[in-house]
């Protein structure tokens, strides 16, 4: 079977133990993203199956119509908002998804970003590398307020870590978050505005859906303390376009730690947040660790093997 993996940014998929599941198939793997739509079509046109790594490629109707050989899109992870399921159905393309959703790796990164940002770790490590020694003063975590926007699986781990470091946890979200907050003994904010006004650290853990796109706007950020930190390891689109950059330049919030961007990958330093000294940026590391990749890619490759045996599994749409 002709299999195309269009965006292996980390250049590691062929080094995963589970890659052996595709032995005997004709696998073509690209590391760099396609330079444009026509290049993407040229890369994908031969494919009978495509390994869709999260949301790196938008499988629009326009694209699906240009892929006459395509039979299966196998997702790495669960359902992706970047797939036109109706177009896939119209053109006889099956879409299969993973079953797992491990919160550990992204939660660990979130905690690491909170600690690194509040204690100026990345800043001071780079200054010391340059030969400097006098250090800046940072912000203690113990006794400060950790605002969790969305107390789901990831947010719950981050909240427990914050509690372990002596932080006071303040939660805001839907009814499910309120119930979990009460069960865990966390305070539930009076409103979204209350969360942003009181928290020293606000960490976003909301799923991106049509109703949550742009759920954080300039008014929310403007309520944050000038010493506060906003952390986003979820999705960039949760924040209204341009709002975080404008807020940081205006001094509210005072700091940000960001792992997700509207357009990825960010190469050549081409993102305005990278020019700000009060922002810690990482290249979508939240899920990028070996155990996570083995879990998600194994499920994806199992879907392809099942399809070749005439028994497709975990179909979407």
* Rounded-to-integer distance, Cα 124 and Cα 239, Å: 28
- Contact in structure between 86 and 133 (CB atoms under 8 Å): no
| Separate counts of helices (H) and strands (E) for the chain | 11, 12
Task: Give the HSE-up count for residue 104: Cα atoms under 13 Å, Cβ half-sphere.
Answer: 8
**Ramachandran area for residue 268 (φ above 0: left; ψ -120 to 50: alpha; else beta):** left
11 SS3 class:
coil
Of 48, 106, 111, nearest to 296 by C-alpha is 106
Structure tokens at 111: 């905690």
Kindly list the catalytic residues.
235, 264, 284
**Where does 166-238 show beta strands of DSSP type E?**
168-172, 187-188, 201-204, 229-232
Which residues, in sequence order, are CB contacts of 48 under 8 Å at separation 6+?
Answer: 1, 2, 3, 69, 70, 71, 72
Q: What is the CA 83 to chain-centroid distance, rounded?
A: 17
Task: Give the HSE-up count for residue 293: Cα atoms under 13 Å, Cβ half-sphere.
Answer: 18
Of 95, 86, 41, nearest to 68 by C-alpha is 41
- Contact in structure between 177 and 152 (CB atoms under 8 Å): yes
Beta bridge partners, 279, equal 256
* Rounded-to-integer distance, Cα 275 and Cα 13, Å: 32
């Amino acid at each position: 079977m002709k299999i195309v993996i269009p965006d292996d940014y980390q250049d590691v998929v062929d080094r995963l133990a589970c890659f052996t599941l595709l032995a005997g198939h004709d696998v073509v793997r690209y590391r760099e993203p396609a330079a444009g739509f026509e290049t993407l079509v040229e890369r994908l046109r031969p494919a009978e199956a495509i390994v869709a790594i999260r949301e790196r490629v938008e499988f629009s109707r326009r694209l699906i119509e240009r892929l006459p050989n395509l039979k299966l899109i196998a997702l790495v992870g669960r359902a992706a908002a970047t797939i036109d399921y109706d177009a896939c159905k119209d053109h006889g393309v099956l879409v299969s998804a993973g079953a797992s959703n491990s919160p550990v790796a992204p939660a660990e990164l979130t905690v690491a970003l909170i600690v690194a940002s509040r204690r100026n770790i990345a800043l001071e490590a780079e200054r010391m590398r340059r030969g400097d020694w006098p250090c800046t003063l940072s912000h203690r975590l113990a006794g400060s307020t950790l605002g969790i926007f969305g107390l789901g699986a990831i947010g719950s781990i981050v909240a427990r870590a914050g509690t372990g470091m002596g932080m006071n946890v303040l939660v805001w979200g839907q009814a499910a978050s309120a119930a979990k907050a009460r069960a865990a003994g966390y305070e539930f904010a009076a409103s979204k505005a209350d969360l942003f006004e009181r928290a020293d650290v606000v960490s976003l853990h909301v799923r991106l859906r049509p109703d949550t796109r742009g759920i954080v706007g300039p008014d929310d950020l403007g309520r944050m303390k000038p010493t506060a930190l906003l952390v986003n390891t979820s999705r960039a689109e949760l924040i209204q376009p341009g709002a975080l950059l404008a807020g940081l330049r205006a001094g509210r919030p005072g700091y940000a730690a960001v792992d997700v961007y509207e357009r990825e990958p960010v190469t050549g330093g081409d993102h305005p947040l990278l020019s700000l000294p009060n922002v810690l940026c990482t290249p979508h590391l939240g899920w990028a660790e070996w155990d996570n990749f083995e879990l998600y890619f194994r499920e994806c490759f199992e879907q392809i093997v099942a399809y070749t045996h005439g028994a497709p599994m975990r179909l979407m749409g």
